[in-house]
Amino acid sequence: MRHIAIIGSGPAGYYTAEAAQKQWGEDVRVDIFDLLPVPYGLIRTGVAPDHQSIKGVSRRYESTAQLDNVRFVGNVTVGEDITIAELQGLYDAVVLATGAPNDKPAGIPGEGLENVFGSAAFVGWYNGHPQFAKLNPDLTGRTAVVIGNGNVALDVARILTKTAAEFTGSDIVAHALHALQKSHIERVVILGRRGPHQIAMTPKELGELAHLTRGCPRVDPADLPDVEEDLFLEPGQRKSVEHLRSFAAIPEEFRCDKPVEIDFDFFASPKAIVGDGRVSGIEIERTVLDENGRASGTGESYTIDCELVVTCIGYKTSPIPGVPFEENAGRFANDEGRILPGLYCVGWARRGPSGTIGTNRPDGFGVIEKIAEDIGVGSGKAGRPGFDRLAEERKLDVVTFRDWKKIEEAEEARAREGAPREKFTDVDEMIKAASKP
């Protein structure tokens, strides 16, 4: 029997469990650990609440979770409740599917000012992550600046702009919905340090900005390269740039009907966030692209007055003491998922924070191939029963998949009209719901 521990119950974790099951069928036992009492990681707390069709992928994970040889072990913090070394003693393979939960710092002065947030925190706030549910961003200012030209920047800009009616059918948490309904924001500036051809925004997500009730995207036509240059882009990127071109062509009279401006500010590198205790502006330096496509400063600078800043510039994995880590790439040092025989990583913990949810599937299957090479038929480790003994000794309050289904049921029962669920944002509330008979 092979015993595998997966740490993290997001897409990377569940695809790895699925791959293990496909590889070994009944001859494997997989335990998926999560520090929260609820599964699915970024699907629950990262994917935007108004993107329910993307969140629907969790149904696939649920069918894996309900296999007899796959088990969800929630509410267990690896590193506190049990160490990696202990898990390695119990399981033939330990797979880190811990994602990249920390914001990459912008490395500029003023990041610590009030009302400046990283996207992990801000997205966690509107998605009800217990760690960030009490973030309480102040939305009473007029201008928000979103730093970054990726899909997370688009998510944040869109969420800041939507009306309550546009959240119908979403699972945005009540505290965020209420705060957004009272928001005074009239301008969301999306800062890109490079140009329209260098955006990391996908066409579908970019296209959504054209259909907002209150928001209207604005692109300065002068920032767009000659249209012939679009021919050199790969098709997806060309489509994204076509959206930017269509935003640049929106007539002013149409814009006037929409109270929130979503301004794309390209070739704009943030240099400092300023304010007296609380953010009141951001200093920007104009850039040009060098021959390698990198942004270099021109010396020309300006300030945007703003009362909220959200940095959406990527994430980093949490290092684990004793596990080799590549600081610059923000991921564990690994060779195609193998950190060392017996210890592996998948998803963002392996690759860094890029790619779609689906990118994790080949990752999971790839790492199972490595594990198969390393562990053979298993080495007689204690596996599940061993962990259960340890959990009992330490009085760990483990949340099972069945318990999670009770939490889910309670969240569905308390949903506002039209919403799929109202998430619990507090771990104790989750545990209470899980303990109901």
Structure tokens of 60?
């696939």
Structure tokens of 371?
């594990």
* Least distance CB 47 / ligand NAP (angstroms): 7
Q: Smaller CB distance to ligand NAP: residue 312 or 398?
A: 312
- The distance of Cα 325 from the centroid of its chain, to the nearest Å, equals 20
- Nearest Cα neighbor of 350 from 330, 322, 365 is 330
Q: Smaller CB distance to ligand NAP: residue 198 or 400?
A: 198
Q: Smaller CB distance to ligand NAP: residue 82 or 153?
A: 153
Structure tokens of 113?
């000012």
Whether the Cβ atoms of residue 337 and residue 346 lie closer than 8 Å to each other: yes
Q: Smaller CB distance to ligand NAP: residue 289 or 382?
A: 289
Q: Smaller CB distance to ligand NAP: residue 345 or 430?
A: 345
State the residues that interact with ligand NAP by CB under 6 A. 51, 106, 147-153, 155, 192-194, 198, 200, 202, 205, 270, 312-314, 353-356
Structure tokens of 110?
């003023």
Q: Smaller CB distance to ligand NAP: residue 49 or 148?
A: 148
Task: Sort 86 into a burial class: Cβ within 10 Å, 0-12 / 13-18 / 19+.
Answer: middle
What is the side-by-side strand order in the sheet with 70-74? 70-74, 28-34, 2-7, 93-96, 343-345, 338-340
Q: Smaller CB distance to ligand NAP: residue 116 or 153?
A: 153
Whether the Cβ atoms of residue 400 and residue 74 lie closer than 8 Å to each other: yes
* Least distance CB 132 / ligand NAP (angstroms): 16
* Least distance CB 9 / ligand NAP (angstroms): 18
Integer-rounded Cα Rg, in Å, for the chain is 23
* Least distance CB 360 / ligand NAP (angstroms): 11
With CB atoms as reference, the residue minimizing the distance to ligand NAP is 150
Task: Sort 373 into a burial class: Cβ within 10 Å, 0-12 / 13-18 / 19+.
Answer: exposed
* Least distance CB 185 / ligand NAP (angstroms): 20
* Least distance CB 387 / ligand NAP (angstroms): 32
Q: Smaller CB distance to ligand NAP: residue 51 or 414?
A: 51
Distance CA 370, CA 341 (A): 9
* Least distance CB 380 / ligand NAP (angstroms): 40
Distance CA 25, CA 249 (A): 56
Packing angle of the helix pair 11-24, 360-375 (nearest 10 deg): 50
Tell me the Ramachandran region of residue 330: left when phi exceeds 0, alpha when psi lies from -120 to 50, beta otherwise: left
* Least distance CB 48 / ligand NAP (angstroms): 7
